[in-house]
Structure 1
Amino acid sequence: MKKFISTLFILHLSMYVAFAHLGSVVGRVIDKSTKQPIVGATIVVADSKKGATTDATGFFQINNLEPNTYRIEVSFVGYSAQNQLVIVKEDESVNLEFGLSESQVQLSEVKVSASNPQHQQVISSLDIKTRPINNSQEVLRIVPGLVIGQHAGGGKAEQIFLRGFDIDHGTDIRLTVDGVPINMVSHAHGQGYADAHFIIPELIEGVDFKKGLYDTDKGNFATAGWANFRTKTTLEHSFAKAEVGQFNTYRLVSGVNVLKTKQHNVYLAGEYNYSDAYFEAPQNFNRINLLGKYHGHLTQNTNLTLTASTFWSKWNASGQIPDRSVADGSIGFYGAIDPNEGGETSRTNVNAELVTLTKRNHVWKNQFFYSNYNFELYSNFTFFLVDPVNGDQIRQKEGRNLWGYNSNYSIGHAIGDKQATFNTGLNYRHDLTNGSELSRTKDRTQLLEAIKLGDVNEANVGVYVDETIQLSPRLSATAGVRFDYFNNQYLDKLQNNTKFKANAAIVSPKLNVYYTYNPNVQLYVNLGKGFHSNDTRAVVAQNGLEILPAAYGSDLGAIWKPFPRMLLNASYWYLWLNQEFVYVGDAGVVEPSGKSVRKGVDVSMRYQLSKKLFFDLDANWAKPRAVGEAEGQNYLPLAVNFTSVGGLTLKTEQGFSGSLRYRYIGNRPANEDNSIVAKGYFVTDALVNYSKNRFSVGLSVQNMFNTQWKETQFATESRLQNETEPVEEIHFTPGTPFNAKLSISWQF
C-alpha cells in the first residue's frame, strides 16, 4: 500500500511544472452578512475561459495568468453578482475577498462551464424553507429520485429508496453531517442504519449530494450515492419558533447567539417535539435535541469549528399491519395488531474541524469526531407465526462508541499551462458496540429467547488521491483512486465469548469527465468502482459471502440551458454489484442474494416562470434485476421503478413565500416474481409563509387532498391469533392523512 501511494505521489511531482513569469489569483467568497464561506460560488476571469469554484471553506484559486489587468467576476444563485479589477504581476499571487449580499434567486445566473461541473447538486436553505418538512430526514426527499418512508412512529430511521435500491435504513447511501458519519455499521437493526433525527432542520445551511460511486473521498456505503448535511457555522440572528399541528402535535425550537464578534462565534440551539400522530393508538412521541457550536479564527488563515450535540427520543408504534385485517374490518386503516411496539434512542456527538490555508495557498482540513449512541427497539412483524402463545415481539438493542479522523490536503497547481488541483486524504473510523442484541420478548419486559448477543469491533481506514485538471476551456476531468481496508471482529456472547475475525481490502478507481459544448450545453461521463459493505456478524461467518463485493457504476449525462431561465439535467446510469447478501437484523440471519444489475434514467428540470415563481420537476426510471435468475423470477423486492416529484415555489420581496408540491411513486414488485405488488401513491403537500420585520408565520399541509396511501409496504408471511395457517401478503404502515401545522417564529 505504501509503495502504491508513493508511486502516485512521485507521478504527481513529475507532472508538477512551475512556469516563471505567470501569476495567480486566490481568495475567498463569503456571505456579507454572516461572514461565512459560500460553497460552490462561480469565479470567472472575464474575456477568458479560466475559472474556478469555491470549496467548503469558500476558497478559490486561478493559476497561469499572464501579467495583465483582469476583471474577476463572482456569482452564486441567490446572491448579487460582484466583480473586481485586479493587476496580476509576474510570479505573484493576488489575494481577493468577495462579500456577496443575498438577492432574488435568478436561474439565469447558473453557469454551465468546464470549471463548474457539479454546481447544481446542492440543496440550499431556500429549498428547505419552501418545502413542508417535519424533520431533517425529510430534507433528503429533495434529492431527485430519493424516496423515504417511516414505519415506526417517527422515532426510527426512515426506509430509503434510490436508484433501484431498497436501501432499507442506509445500506447503500452514505449520509454524514458536517463530515460526521450518520450510518451505523453492523447495527442491531441492520447494516448502515442511518438516523438523522438528531439534526435540527432550522440549522441546516445546505446539503451536498451526488448519486453514484464516483468520488474518491466517499468510501463506505456510497454505492447508490451520498449526501452531507452542512449545519450553520453561525446564526445571522437568534431565533425562537413554535409549531402546533393536528394529532396533538407541537414543537419548540430556538437558537441563540452567545458570542458574536469578528473573530469568534458561539451559539446554542435546542428543539423539543411531541406528537400522538395519526394512528388509532397514540404514539406518545418525544424528541429532544441540544446543540452548541463554536467557530473562530485562530489565525488569519486557520479556522477552528467545535460542535457538541445530544439527542434523545422515545415513542410507541403501531407497526406494520396486514391487508387482510383492514379488508375484513378487524382494524381500521390506521389501526394496529400489536400496539405494544416502540423504542428509545439517544446520541451524543463531539466534532472538531480545523481548516488551514498555508502560505503556499494549499488547503489542509483536519477533523476529529466522537459519538456515543444507544438504541432499543421493539417490533412485531409476524404476530403469532413463530410463537402462537406469546406472540412474535422482538427486541433489538445496542450501545455504541464510535470515533474517527478525516484529513484532506488540496494543492492548486499547473500541469504545463493547464490549471489543476491535487487532493489526497485519509479517512479512519472505529466502532465498538456493547451488547448488540436480538431477542424474543413479551410486553417489552419479559425475555423469552436470546437469538443474537455480542460485541462488534469494526475499523475502517481509507486513503485516496485524485487530480482535477482543466484540459481545455471546454474539457475538465477528475481521475483518482481510493483504497479501503476493513478489520471486523465479533465477540459472540452466546457461544462462550468466542471471538470471530475477518478482514478485507479493496481498491476503487474513479473517473469524471465534463465537456462544455457551448455556454448552454455540458456533457459528462462518470465512471467508478466501489463496494457494498457487509455486516460484521455476517462476514466473520463467511459461508461464501464476499466481505467487500465490488460495485461498478457509470453515468452518461447532459446539462442543458435551452433558455436563460430553464435548466435541464438528464442522465443514463448503470450499476453492477457482484453480490448483495444482506444481514437481516429482524431475524439474525444472512439473506442470500447474488449478482444484480440496475440501470435507469434520471431527468430534472428547473424553470423560472417569472421573477418570483419557480417550477421544478424530477422523473426517475429504474430497472433493477437479479442476475442469473429466470426471467419473471428476477425482480428485486420493493425496489422503486418510477418516481416523480415536482411543484411550484413562490418567493416575493414582500415577505410571502410558499410551495405546492406533489410526490408520485409507481407500483413496484414486493417479491421476486412480482406476484405481490406494493401499490404506488400520489400525494400533494403545500406550504405558505409570511415574514415581516423579524416575525414569520407559516402554514404547512401534508396530503392536502386527504389521499389514503401506504407509506411503507412489505411482502410478509404472518399469522394472526385466530388463524391456523400463515398468510403471505402486503403488510403496510399508512401514510399521513390531511395534516396541517401552524408555525410562528421570531428573530432577535
Structure 2
Amino acid sequence: MAAFAACAAASTFAQSVGSTLAPVEIRGNYDNAVGSSDAASQGSVSARLIATRPTERTGEILEFVPGLIVSQHSGDGKANQYYLRGFNLDHGTDFATFVDGMPVNMRSHAHGQGYTDLNFLIPELVSRIDYRKGPYYAEEGDFASAGAAHLRLMDTLPAGIASLTLGQNRYTRALLAKSTAAGAGQLLYALDLARNDGPWVNPERLRKFNGLLRYSQGTRDEGFNVTAMGYSARWNATDQIPQRAVDAGLVDRYGAIDATDGGESSRYSVSAAMRQRNALGLLEVNAYAIRSRLDLFSNFTYYMDDPVGGDQFEQKERRSVAGLNLSQTWNMKLAGFDAVNRVGLQTRYDRVSPVGLYRTTARVQTSLDREDRVRETSAGVFAENTTQWHEKFRTVAGVRWDRYRFDVASNIAANSGKAGDHLASPKLSFIVGPWAKTEYFLNWGEGFHSNDARGTTQVLTPKDLLPTTPVTPLVKTRGSEIGLRTELVPGLQSSVALWRLRIASELVFVGDAGDTAPSRPSARHGVEWNNHYVADNGLLLDADFAISRSRYTQDDAAGNFIPGSIEKVVSLGVTIVDRGPWSGSVQLRYFGPRPLVEDNSVRSSSTVLTNARVAYKLDAKTRVALDVFNLFNRKASDIDYYYDSQLRGEASPVTDRVFHPVEPRAFRVTLTHNF
C-alpha cells in the first residue's frame, strides 16, 4: 500500500500557524482529507494518480479536477474546450489555470477570452494539482468564478526518465528528463518531442516540441527555483463538420470540409519563485515573463460568406506577458484566538501586437477584418484572515480589489481608445467540525472575469461599421456553497457540495467574428458528490458525480436555456497497483446532453468514453504500458453546435447540427526506463 500512502495536511490554517491540530492519515491519491481544505469542493491530486491514468491529449490532465470535462473541436495544437459547473467554458473563460504561479489564461486573445492552452506542459513533471471551485478565495482573481487549478512542477525527479511511445496513426512521443545536483541545488531538465496524424482523412501532421530547464535550492517551505520553458507546434486541423454532409455521404465522419485549416503556436517563458521565512512569517514571491505567438486558420461556416473562396479566416497574435506576485503571511492573536493573516499583490501586463482577424483562402490572407494593438495592465491586492475561534470552528474572511487599464490601437480609428475599471470582491467561509470524522462548510464570495480589451473601446462593428456600445470591462459574479467532507467509512474520502453562481452578464468577445456577442445575466446551481475509496491493498476506486442547472435570468422570447451549458457529468475509475509486476487502471467518463439553442428544442447527445491502461514491470527500472483510448469504440461527439452554415453547391445557408467526433479506439505502447 506504500504506493498510495499519503499524509493529508491538517488544514490550511494549521499549515500556516503551526496549530496542534493533528493531521489525519488517509490512504489515497487525492489529498482531500478532513481538515485539509476550506470548502467541500477544494482538493489536491497527487503525482501518483496522474501517473496511473492515460491521457490522450495534454490538456486532459485537468479532468483530474472532479466534474471538469475536457474536449476538442479542432486540431490538437489548439487549446481544448472546457466544461464545469454548468458552464461551457469555451477555451477557459471563468476557470483560471496556473502552472507554477504563471497564468495560462490569455486575456484579450485572438481566438477567445481566457484562452487556456496547456500544450506546453510535460505531464510527467507535474507534482500535484491543487483545485478550487467557486469565487470564495481572496487569492483567486480573474477567470476564477467557476474554479481554479494550480499545477505545481517538480523540483527533482527520484530517477531519470527515458520513454518512447508508439501508437496508431503515426503517433510517436519521446521524453527524456532527469534532475542532477548542481552546486548547492538541483538542476532538472526535460525534452519532449511528439508527432501525430490522428484518425482524420486529412492527416493532422502534428509536430510538437517541449523543453524545460529548472534550477532549485532549498525546500518547499524555504527555497527558490528558476525555470525556463519552451514549446512549439504546428498542425493541420479537422474542424467540426455538419451532420447533413455526413448523412449525404459528402464527407467521412473523420473528414474535413476545408482541408487547409490548422495552425502554428509557440510559447517561451522564464519564471522564478521564492518562499522565505522572515521576522513576520512567510514571504512568497513569484515573477514571470512569457512570449507567445499563434496563427490559427479555421472555417466554421464553409461557403456561407464567400461561395467561391470559402469562409476560412486567420486569427493571429504576438503576445508578451510579464507579472509579479507577492504575499506575506503571519501569525497573530485575535481577541485571544489563534489567527493567521495573509496579504498579497498580483500584477500583470499583456502586450498583444498585433491581435488580428483576417479572411484567408488556403491560409493565404485575402482581406482584413480587424487588427489591433492592445496593452492591458492589471493590479490586484488581497487580504485574508483565518481565525480558529474554537477547536471545531474557524472562519476565513477575505477581500480583494482589482484595477484594470486597457489601451487599444485599432485599424478602425473610432475603435481606438483607453478604458479602465475596478472592482472589490469580498469573501467569507465558515468551517465547522470535525464530528464523527465529518467536517461542514459554508462559503460565499464575489468574483469577476474581465472582458476583451477590444470590446471596451469598440463603437463600430468591424464588418459593417455599425454603431455599437462598449462593453463593461469587468463582470461581477457572486457564488455560494454548502457542503461536507467525511471519512466516516474507513478508507473513504467523500464530499458533497451544493453550490450556486450568478453572473451579471454572459457577454463575450467572439474572436471568430472579431465582435462582441451580447448576452444576458445568468444563474447556475448544482450538486457535486465526490468519492475516493481505497478498497484493498493496491486497489483505489473513484466515483464523481455532478449535476448542474443553468438559465438566463432575464426572460427572452428565444428561451432561457444557455447553449452548451453542461448538465451531468459522471466519472468512474479503478486503479490497481502492486499486483506483482502488474498495474492498471480503467476510467469511464460520461458527458451528458446539453441544450444547443435557447429554447432547448435542439440538444446534443451524451458521450461515454472509457480509457484503460495495463502496465508491466520488466525489471526494477524498466516497464511497458499499453494504453487504450475509447476502449469500446463509441461513435460519439467531442463537441456539438447548432448554427447556420453553407456547403459548396447549396443555394442558401442551412441551420444544422455540427459536431467534432471523438477519436475511434486507439492503442499506444510506452516503454519507460528510469536511470
TM-score normalised over the length of structure 2: 0.94
With 175-184 and 555-564 compared, the bigger mean Cα shift is at 555-564
Task: Report the counterpart of residue 458 of structure 2 in structure 1.
Answer: 541
1:633 aligns with 2:554: no
Counterpart in 1 of 2:463?
none
* 1:5-44 to 2 correspondences below 5 Å: 41-43=8-10
Residue 393 of structure 2 is matched in structure 1 by 475
Quote the offset at 1:654 in angstroms: 3.0
Alpha-carbon shift at residue 653 of structure 1 (Å): 6.2
In structure 2, relative to structure 1, the CA distance for the partners of 1:301 and 1:157 (3 Å cut) is closer
Residue of structure 1 in register with 2:431 after alignment: 514
**Greater mean alpha carbon deviation, residues 206-215 or residues 670-679:** 670-679
Superposition pairs for residues 322-333 of structure 1, below 5 Å?
A: 322-333=242-253
- Equivalent residue runs for 1:671-710 within 5 Å: 671-691=597-617, 692-710=619-637
Change (3 A) 1:669 1:252: same
Match of 2:486 in 1: 560
What's the counterpart of residue 423 of structure 1? 342
Matching of residues 613-692 of structure 1 within 5 Å: 613-630=539-556, 633-652=559-578, 654-691=580-617, 692=619
Q: 1:353-388: CA deviations, max 9, x gaps? A: 12111145x100111100000000000000000011
Structure 1 letter corresponding to 2:382: Y
- Alignment of 1:234 with 2:234, yes or no, is no
Matched, 1:374 2:293: yes
Contact 1:301 1:358 in 2 (8 A): no
Percent identical: 32
Cα 1:544–1:516 shift into 2, 3 Å: same
Q: Does 1:734 align with 2:661?
A: yes
- Tell me the residue number matched to 1:410: 329
1:34-84, Cα deviation, whole Å (9 max, x unpaired): xxxx9984359xxxxxx9544xxxxx5436x8xxxxxx9656656xxxxxx
> Equivalences for 1:315-464 in 2 at 5 Å?
315-360=235-280, 362-445=281-364, 447-464=365-382
Which residue in 2 is equivalent to 1:26? none
Tell whether 2:72 aligns with 1:155: no
Cα distance in 1 for partners of 2:663, 2:478 equals 38
Contact 2:68/2:84 (8 A) holds in 1: yes
Q: Provide the alpha-carbon RMSD of the alignment.
A: 2.4
Alignment equivalent of 1:500, drawn from 401, 413, 417: 417
Deviates more, 1:345-354 or 1:608-617: 608-617
Preserved contact between residue 200 and residue 254 of structure 2 (Cα < 8 Å): yes
| Corresponding residue for residue 125 of structure 1 | 47
* Equivalent pair of 1:114/1:475 in contact (CA under 8 Å): no
Higher relative contact order (CA 8 A, sep 6+): 2
- Partner in structure 2 of residue 288 of structure 1: 209
Q: In 2, Cα distance between the equivalents of 1:290 and 1:61?
A: 38
Query: 1:256-299: per-residue Cα shift (whole Å, max 9, x none)?
Result: 224357x310011010010000111100001100100000149x
Give 1:686 shift. 0.5
Aligned position for 1:723: 650
8 Å CA contact 1:319–1:339 kept in 2: the answer is no
Choose from 122, 130, 139 the match for 1:208: 130
Cα distance in 2, alignment partners of residues 118 and 398 from structure 1 = 39
Retained in 2: the 8 A contact 1:514–1:522? yes
Over 3 Å counting, the alpha-carbon distance change for 1:509 and 1:73 in structure 2 is closer
TM-superposed CA distance for 1:302, in Å, is: 4.9
* Matched letter for residue 251 of structure 1: R
Residue in structure 2 matching 1:314, options 222, 234, 238: 234
Which amino acid in structure 2 is aligned with residue 412 of structure 1? N
CA drift of 1:197 comes to 0.8
1:680, distance to aligned residue in structure 2 (A):
1.1
Alignment correspondent of 2:462: none
Return 5+ residue gaps in structure 1 as ranges.
1-31, 45-50, 55-59, 66-71, 79-104
- Determine if contact 2:495/2:531 at 8 Å carries over to the other structure: yes
1:598 equivalent in alignment to 2:524:
yes
SS in structure 2 at match of 1:42: coil
Render the CA deviation track for 1:570-615: whole Å, top value 9, x for unaligned: 1111111111211000001111101101111111112222122121
Query: CA separation of 1:389/1:731 partners in 2, compared to 1, >3 Å: closer, same or farther?
Result: same
Q: CA deviation at 1:560?
A: 2.1
- Inter-partner Cα distance in structure 1 for 2:356 and 2:79: 18
Where do residues 1-80 of structure 1 align in structure 2 (5 Å cutoff)?
41-43=8-10, 53-54=14-15, 61-62=17-18, 77=26
Distance 1:376 1:678 in 2: 30
Equivalent residue for 1:248? 170
CA distance 1:520–1:195, shift in 2 (3 Å): same
Q: Summarize the Cα distance change of 1:43–1:495 in structure 2 as closer, same or farther, 3 Å threshold.
A: closer
Offset of residue 110 of structure 1: 6.7
Whether contact under 8 Å (2:9, 2:36) holds in the other structure is no
State the secondary structure of the residue aligned to 1:532. strand
Inter-CA distance 377–39: structure 2 relative to 1 (3 Å threshold): farther
Question: Which residue number corresponds to residue 112 of structure 1?
Answer: 34
Change in Cα spacing, 1:734 to 1:643, as seen in structure 2 (3 Å) is same
Taking a change above 3 Å as real, the CA distance of residues 117 and 611 of structure 1, as seen in their structure-2 partners, is farther
Greater CA radius of gyration, 1 or 2?
Answer: 1
Q: Which amino acid aligns with 2:285?
A: N
Aligned length: 663
Aligned residues of 2:23 and 2:35 also touching (Cα < 8 A): no
Match of 2:145 among 223, 227, 233: 223
Deviation, 1:529, is: 0.3
Alignment check: 8 A CA contact 1:114 1:514 kept: no
| d(CA) in 1 for partners of 2:518, 2:236 | 32
CA distance in 1, matches of 2:106, 2:6: 28
Listed as ranges, the gaps of 5+ residues in structure 2 are: 460-468
- Give the 3 Å change call, closer, same or farther, for CA 595–150 of structure 1 in structure 2: same
Residues of 2 paired with 1:328 and 1:301: CA distance? 62
Amino acid at match of 2:340: T
**In 2, Cα distance between the equivalents of 1:138 and 1:416?**
47
1:555-580 Cα distance to aligned partner (Å, 9 max, x none):
11111223112222111111111112
Q: Which amino acid aligns with 1:255?
A: A
Query: 2: distance between equivalents of 1:207 and 1:140?
Result: 8
- AA in 1 matched with 2:216: H
1:739, distance to aligned residue in structure 2 (A) = 0.9
Amino acid corresponding to residue 301 of structure 2 in structure 1: T
Aligned 8 A contact 1:113 1:474 in 2:
no
Residues 41, 497 of structure 2: 8 Å contact kept: no
Change (3 A) 1:301 1:734: closer
- Residue-by-residue CA offset, 1:365-422 (whole Å, 9 max, x unaligned): 1111000000000000000000111100000001010000000100022224422110
Conserved? CA contact 1:427–1:463, under 8 Å: yes
Q: For residues 340 and 111 of structure 1, what CA distance do their matches in structure 2 show? A: 50
| 2:249 aligned counterpart, secondary structure | coil
Q: What is the CA distance between 1:674 and its match in structure 2? A: 1.6
SS at match of 1:717: strand
In the aligned structure 1, how far is the partner of 2:476 from the partner of 2:663? 39
